[in-house]
Amino acid sequence: MAENLENGQGDHHFTKDGTVDLKGNPVLRSKRGGWKACSFIVVYEVFERMAYYGISSNLFIYLTKRLHQGVVEAANNVTNWAGTVFLVPLVGAYIADAYLGRYWTFVAGSVIYVMGMCLLVIAVSIPSLRPPPCATTCKPATTMQLAIFFSGLYILALGNGGTKPNISTMGADQFDDFDPIERTHKLSFFNWWMFSIFLGTLFANTVLVYLQDNVGWSLGYGIPLLGLAVSVCIFLFGTSFYRHKVPQGSPFTRMAKVVVAALKKWRVVVPSDPKDLHELDLEEYAKKSKTRIDSTDSLRFLNRAAVKNGKTSPWILCAVTQVEETKQIFRMLPIIITMFIPCTMIAQVNTLFIKQGTTLNRHIGPHFQIPPASLAAFLTISMLVSVVIYDRFFVNFMRNITKNPRGITLLQRIGVGVFIQSLIFVIAAFTERWRLSVARKHGLEKGGQVPLSIFIILPQFVIMGISDAFLVVGKLEFFYDQAPESMKSLGTACSLTAYGVGNFLSSVLLSTVTEITRRNDNAWVMDNLNASHLDYYYALLAVLSFVNFLVFLLVSKFYSYKAEDFNKA
């Protein structure tokens, strides 16, 4: 036995969180996982985000300039597509948690992702697949041209359904919660994960946007395709180092059983002693590498599902752990709902913020013009700096005050980001009001470039980056951390779902407001922003954001975090 321990083969050298290799064998802590495995995943994300944002950052400009769509139509097409990108991960999470596991679901999604990117490159490269440049009038894109381009976009979105909910989850899986050192590293993982995302985004918002605007869309889309291919190869190179969680079956079915069982026994009295509830032996959980969870009093109605009544059908009697897993997902639902509006705010960055930039003076020196979409690079830089400051300084400072290992709680971090967002749209409303006053002063109501620098809208992007360091990172970590161990992909998908709903809400809100205000021949958002009232629209978003912030505070007050330390089978 001593010899085995010296050779690194003792049980205490194996991970304790149930992770295995691709063949299902237990893994040695020293051989797999940790930052060594995460390095492949983090580098993958740099290249993949470069590819994704190489398409999405300037998509609004492509739709308006090359496919000749109006502002509202193009903005809605962007947000509808983005909404799809962030909703299909629910399907990918289901497949990963129930059947294939995160690794193989990710690989399948990557293949589809590359196919969509290939079709997009073809669509922007062949002249017959896009309308001719505008002369005196702009010829609209044909049905076939639109069909090919949007097919590429939505195939790409489908591929994201397999990659998005599983890659960050798989990265977090490389750290064992039952090892104190690895658990500490895991607290920093999501900060550095977002850092890698925004490195790729920075390249997309600068180099790729410039190439698309000034060199050509074939090259501007071809490089993202190459970047995506490189990212997938990097991920595959790290295969031998990864730890894997075993699929635990359909999370939706397990939750449905709890709800049905509780409803069938709605008149049953829940015993005061949790030990009288139905629970499996520790050995049963050990066989499945699962965690057993003690009963709690929150959402007590669901405890009826675990009350013994002589029947053993899984739709009538559920184990306490199964009930508690369901509670953990249900407790997150109000938080998810309060994330819809913040994600609607984020959707404005790649649409209306960029449209604002096209109306302003973009010259830097006599020969160079900054592409409006490149302003998102300042958001990225702001985010990068904020994440580093947060992880290296703010957390350590707050730990001394709060005694919380994270510095502040996850919901407090999210709340700071939500509040900052409200301020962003107050600033954006006043900035747009200033821009409109200058446009009217120079008689530009019928269109034309306003003699103000594009950098007047820079604060909107910079402060949004600071907000994202709190909101986006906190949201991703919250939904991963608070999801049951067997439903981590679903938890991550819940985080992405908020983006999906937020983007669709953006489309609905913009269309509704435009339709209502158009009746008075004074639409808030038109193709000609100089004759619009985008300042009113931003003010509306500011009000919605602040009201949502108050609701978030109320919901957060009643949220019950899941226990940090579990009993491992």
pLDDT at 476: 83
Lowest mean pLDDT, pick from 476-480, 501-505, 533-537: 476-480
Measure the CA–CA gap between 37 and 288, rounded to whole angstroms: 24
Task: Tell which residue, 222, 210, 194, has the closest CA to residue 49.
Answer: 194
**What angle, rounded to 10 degrees, do the helices at 34-56 and 101-125 form?**
30
Task: Tell which residue, 210, 241, 216, has the closest CA to residue 42.
Answer: 241
pLDDT at 41: 92
- Answer yes or no: is pLDDT of 522 > 90: no
pLDDT at 218: 94
End-to-end CA distance of the chain: 23
Cα dihedral sign, 434-440-442-447: positive
**What average pLDDT does the segment 90-102 reach?**
87
**What angle, rounded to 10 degrees, do the helices at 180-203 and 458-482 form?**
150
**What average pLDDT does the segment 84-106 reach?**
90
* pTM for the predicted model, two decimal places: 0.85
Task: Tell which residue, 383, 117, 97, 437, has the closest CA to residue 245.
Answer: 97
CB atoms within 10 A of CB 315: 15
Measure the CA–CA gap between 442 and 186, rounded to whole angstroms: 56
* SS3 assignment, position 250: coil
List Cβ neighbours of 514 (8 Å cut-off, separation of 6 or more).
72, 523, 524, 525, 526
Angle at 215 between CA 212 and CA 217, to 5 degrees: 40
Lowest mean pLDDT, pick from 100-104, 185-189, 347-351, 408-412: 185-189
pLDDT at 565: 45
Measure the CA–CA gap between 103 and 106, rounded to whole angstroms: 5
Strand partners, 20: 26, 244
Cβ contact 465:376 at 8 Å = no
Cα dihedral sign, 485-487-490-491: negative
pLDDT at 363: 84
pLDDT tens figures, 3-18: 343 333 444 588 877 7
Q: What is the mean pLDDT of the chain?
A: 88
Residue 290 confidence class, pLDDT cut points 50, 70, 90: confident
Length of the chain equals 569
Strand partners, 567: 292
Q: Which long-range contacts (CB under 8 A, 24 or more apart) does 447-454 make?
A: 447/528, 447/530, 447/531, 448/530, 449/359, 449/360, 449/361, 450/359, 450/360, 450/361, 450/530, 451/361, 452/360, 452/361, 453/360, 453/361, 454/357, 454/360, 454/361, 454/362, 454/370, 454/372, 454/375
CB atoms within 10 A of CB 407: 21
What burial class does residue 311 get, using C-beta atoms within 10 Å of its C-beta: 0-12 exposed, 13-18 middle, 19+ buried? exposed
pLDDT tens figures, 460-495: 999 999 999 999 889 988 988 898 877 777 787 788
pLDDT tens figures, 252-284: 888 999 999 999 999 899 998 888 899 988 877
Beta strand pairing status for 360-361 and 450-453? parallel
List Cβ neighbours of 25 (8 Å cut-off, separation of 6 or more).
none
Measure the CA–CA gap between 78 and 503, rounded to whole angstroms: 9
What burial class does residue 458 get, using C-beta atoms within 10 Å of its C-beta: 0-12 exposed, 13-18 middle, 19+ buried? middle
pLDDT tens figures, 54-72: 999 899 999 998 999 999 9
* pLDDT above 90 coverage of the chain, percent: 57
Residue 322 confidence class, pLDDT cut points 50, 70, 90: very high
pLDDT tens figures, 111-164: 999 999 999 999 999 999 999 888 778 888 999 999 999 999 999 999 999 998
- Answer yes or no: is pLDDT of 73 > 80: yes
